[in-house]
Structure 1
Amino acid sequence: MRRSTMVRGRSVVGMAAAAAMLAACGEGAVADAEDADGESVGDEEAEISLRYAFFAPAASFPAVQMEEWAERLNERTDGRVSVELFPGGTLLESGDIFDGVSGGIAEVGMDSPAYDVGRFPLSSVMALPVDFPNSQVASRTMLDLLEEFEPEEFADYEIITAFTTEPAYIQSEEPVTSRDDLDGLEMRSAGAGVPALQALGASPVGMPMPEVAEGLQTGVLDGYMSSREVLQDFGLAEQVNYVTDYAFGISNTFVAVMDQSEYDNLPADVQEAIVELRPEMTEFASEYHDDQNVGDALEWAESEHGVEVVELDDGEREAWDGALEGLIDDWFEEAEGHGFDPQEVFDRMNELREQYTAELGS
């Protein structure tokens, strides 16, 4: 991606200390190496170790993707590149990961742009209610947009891969089948889900997904809006009883990045392997999510915890559709002045959505 001279001023508690600790350990992406006679070997032959940070548990589908990426990269570099995985917020937590990569705490990091409101305006187009049928269509659309438009929001990074969840659904302690049921409910959401819930009368609560279980246990939350794999990946089927069968926009996007200068210092063949893996991992993550992850989670939630799926009647569904129409107009206003043409991005997103829906089905 393009380089930028912009310096971000965001302060993250604990990141400086973590960086100092890791620096004291002498870790870096390209390890100094010697041959059997004690002679230094060139960068093209040196072993490389990368730290890869993510916030969700190891069993979550994005973390399964990062493990697959690590294995494929190791194989394609004949074992020269090894990747140490840090899922579950063990190195960096959600909202801190992109800055943590810039600060050298991790060489690779994956986070959700939706958790940093306003920082990723082009990426936020993916959360609009435009009827993406599944993760596979949305993920390919997302990666194409990032590669075609090279948005300023990722100018300091090399994009490792990008993908999305399925659409979001309301998941709640009590059944939600009307706007009246939502009135006043404290519902966790992120990104475009916040105004969507507001438009339907709920009270959205900004909260990272790893904190939702505690929020439900303590009564801070009545439910949340998210893709349905979290019922199992985060164990939330133990806390909620109902899923409302109404698909909002894409629940979440994930982007994995490496600091651009870190990437530029890698040997050319390693860079080539990373670029080759970018679309492969988009396909792997989205296919795994659609074909296995969500279905397994729903089956587990229903059979093991009695979670029920509830429906909206036709009139209520039309009313919800109408209430959400204004979100697209709001996005156009918010996207102005960020170095891209909102109409061009929106139109291209819809072209790609239609193209991939025709190719991949719904």
Structure 2
Amino acid sequence: MDERSAGTGRRAPRIRAAAALAAVALGAAACGGATGGTQEAGGVEELELQMASFLSPTTAQGQAITWWMEQLEERTGGRVTVEPFWDASLLGAEEVRDGVRDGRVELGNMTYAYTPSDFPITSMVEVPFLGDNIGAQIRALNSLYQSDQAFRGEWEEKQGIKVLSFIGIPPALTGAKEPVTTVDWYRGRTVRASGFFVRALEAVGGNPAAIPVPETYEAMRTGTIEAYGGLILDVITPLSLHEVGGQIHDPGLGHYANSTWTMSMDSWESLSPELRAIIEELNAEFPEQLLIAAERTEDEACTTILESGGSATIFSAEQTQIWRDAIGDAPMRAWMDKAATAGVADPAALYEQFRSIYQEAETGEYADYRSGIERCASR
């Protein structure tokens, strides 16, 4: 049976077998006095991994992951390579999680948002108004993953997934045919929305519409919706949404989700200590690569939007406060209930730890960060 036709058949044994064969080859080469590249990578096994992503390699996430894969090959002397499957060509956005954990692929770029009930603790990122600093979000999530057993267990023990790095998501933006500067504009309007943005719209009298991202352009063109929300800057232009709704604005809600760069636990546990060490080095460098890529892709998207007659604006603090008052503490209470049900002894303390790490990074290591929409609005 073909290993992919097996559906949920695990592929990690293939990795272990490859590692065993590599070890035999190394031993044979040593006994025969042979010299060559087999030992130059510090005994790292020879592997071919496969990766699935629902995103394009041209996105910021795609560029950072491409860097990671290329560096893995370089730092292992070519002994470990990755075959990527982009644009949902192998697994759709809602399938990547299962594809990683059941071994159809070893690596995956996924988001918990397609299966939120399986990640109640991780959904803390949906609590609004934390901020818009993606470096700080990555630092807080990665730190919590290392220090909090319940949070790490949600991924490793319950899902069978090793988090290589969390991926920060910039603020949720909205695009319309006309400039939007007040919360009142949403009242009675039909707006494409998903996740937390659905509840945020309802809180100010908007009508959320569950339009899939690929269908958003047509919905805007035909007037089925009057605006689209819950999208980030460097996703708007590849979808050509600036052509039908180029007046982009940030209402100030902050982060609304996150993505994750992952490996199956079976695959991770089958790797040699030498290869794990190389991967951990790459994981530590990954956030900086994402920030570099995000700045590049966001600025390119901004140029496209502005040159096509669009605009980029940010709600005033007063308007954002109106939205904050309308939403209240319902998102926090909802998350705390889910976290408690998931076994978190003190959800409030866990969130405060998350917020504390975030704010420390926001005012420290990532104090110079400016979101793409902020940079675009200043132009």
In the alignment, the residues of structure 1 paired with residue 72 and residue 284 of structure 2 have an alpha-carbon distance, to the nearest angstrom, of 13
Measure how far apart 1:101 and its partner are: 1.0
- Looking at secondary structure, tell me which structure has more helix per residue: 2
Q: Which residue is 2:6 aligned to? A: 20
Measure how far apart 1:332 and its partner are: 2.0
Q: Which residue is 2:95 aligned to? A: 96
- The question of whether the paired residues in 1 share the 8 Å contact of 2:44 and 2:274 is answered with no
Q: Which residue is 1:126 aligned to? A: 125
Measure how far apart 1:104 and its partner are: 1.9
The amino acid across from 1:20 in the alignment is: A
Q: Which residue is 2:325 aligned to? A: 322
The amino acid across from 1:53 in the alignment is: A
Q: Secondary structure at the match of 1:336?
A: helix
Q: Does 1:338 align with 2:342?
A: yes
Q: Secondary structure at the match of 1:129?
A: coil
Q: Which residue is 1:3 aligned to? A: none
- The question of whether the paired residues in 1 share the 8 Å contact of 2:45 and 2:275 is answered with no
In the alignment, the residues of structure 2 paired with residue 204 and residue 181 of structure 1 have an alpha-carbon distance, to the nearest angstrom, of 14
Q: Greater CA deviation, 205-214 or 335-344?
A: 205-214
Q: Select 2:274's aligned residue among 266, 269, 282.
A: 269
Q: Select 1:283's aligned residue among 271, 280, 288.
A: 288
The amino acid across from 2:262 in the alignment is: V
Measure how far apart 1:53 and its partner are: 0.6
Q: 1:225 to 1:83 in 2, by over 3 A?
A: same
Q: 1:209 to 1:164 in 2, by over 3 A?
A: farther
In the alignment, the residues of structure 2 paired with residue 243 and residue 107 of structure 1 have an alpha-carbon distance, to the nearest angstrom, of 37
Correspondences of 1:82-231 after superposition (within 5 Å): 82-150=81-149, 151=151, 152-155=153-156, 156-206=160-210, 209-217=213-221, 219-222=223-226, 223-231=228-236
Q: Which residue is 1:63 aligned to? A: 62
In the alignment, the residues of structure 1 paired with residue 117 and residue 161 of structure 2 have an alpha-carbon distance, to the nearest angstrom, of 18
Q: Greater CA deviation, 41-50 or 194-203?
A: 41-50
* 1:249-271 CA distance string (max 9 Å, x none): 21431112111112111122111
Q: Select 1:358's aligned residue among 357, 363, 372.
A: 363
Q: 1:27 to 1:62 in 2, by over 3 A?
A: farther
Measure how far apart 1:343 and its partner are: 0.8
Q: Greater CA deviation, 102-111 or 180-189?
A: 180-189
Measure how far apart 1:79 and its partner are: 1.1
- The question of whether the paired residues in 1 share the 8 Å contact of 2:130 and 2:355 is answered with no
Q: Which residue is 1:307 aligned to? A: 310
Q: Which residue is 2:259 aligned to? A: 254
In the superposition, the TM-score normalised over structure 2's length comes to 0.80
In the alignment, the residues of structure 2 paired with residue 104 and residue 220 of structure 1 have an alpha-carbon distance, to the nearest angstrom, of 40
Give the greater-gyration-radius structure (CA). 2
Q: 1:218 to 1:145 in 2, by over 3 A?
A: farther
The number of aligned residues is 345
Q: Does 1:47 align with 2:42?
A: no
Unpaired runs of 5+ residues, structure 1, are 1-15
Measure how far apart 1:27 and its partner are: 10
Measure how far apart 1:82 and its partner are: 0.1
Q: Greater CA deviation, 161-170 or 42-51?
A: 42-51
Q: Greater CA deviation, 328-337 or 258-267?
A: 328-337
Unpaired runs of 5+ residues, structure 2, are 30-37, 370-379
In the superposition, the TM-score normalised over structure 1's length comes to 0.84
- The question of whether the paired residues in 2 share the 8 Å contact of 1:126 and 1:249 is answered with no
Q: Greater CA deviation, 201-210 or 65-74?
A: 201-210
Q: Secondary structure at the match of 1:126?
A: helix
In the alignment, the residues of structure 1 paired with residue 288 and residue 43 of structure 2 have an alpha-carbon distance, to the nearest angstrom, of 29
Computed over aligned residues only, the root mean square deviation of the Cα atoms, in angstroms, reads 3.3
Q: Which residue is 2:77 aligned to? A: 78
In the alignment, the residues of structure 2 paired with residue 245 and residue 181 of structure 1 have an alpha-carbon distance, to the nearest angstrom, of 13
Measure how far apart 1:313 and its partner are: 5.5
The amino acid across from 2:252 in the alignment is: A
The amino acid across from 1:181 in the alignment is: W
Q: Greater CA deviation, 75-84 or 226-235?
A: 226-235
The amino acid across from 1:261 in the alignment is: D
In the alignment, the residues of structure 2 paired with residue 94 and residue 357 of structure 1 have an alpha-carbon distance, to the nearest angstrom, of 30
Q: Greater CA deviation, 318-327 or 46-55?
A: 318-327
Q: Secondary structure at the match of 1:51?
A: strand
- The question of whether the paired residues in 2 share the 8 Å contact of 1:56 and 1:210 is answered with no
In the alignment, the residues of structure 1 paired with residue 178 and residue 247 of structure 2 have an alpha-carbon distance, to the nearest angstrom, of 7
Measure how far apart 1:58 and its partner are: 1.7
Instruction: State percent identity of aligned pairs.
Output: 23
In the alignment, the residues of structure 2 paired with residue 217 and residue 20 of structure 1 have an alpha-carbon distance, to the nearest angstrom, of 42
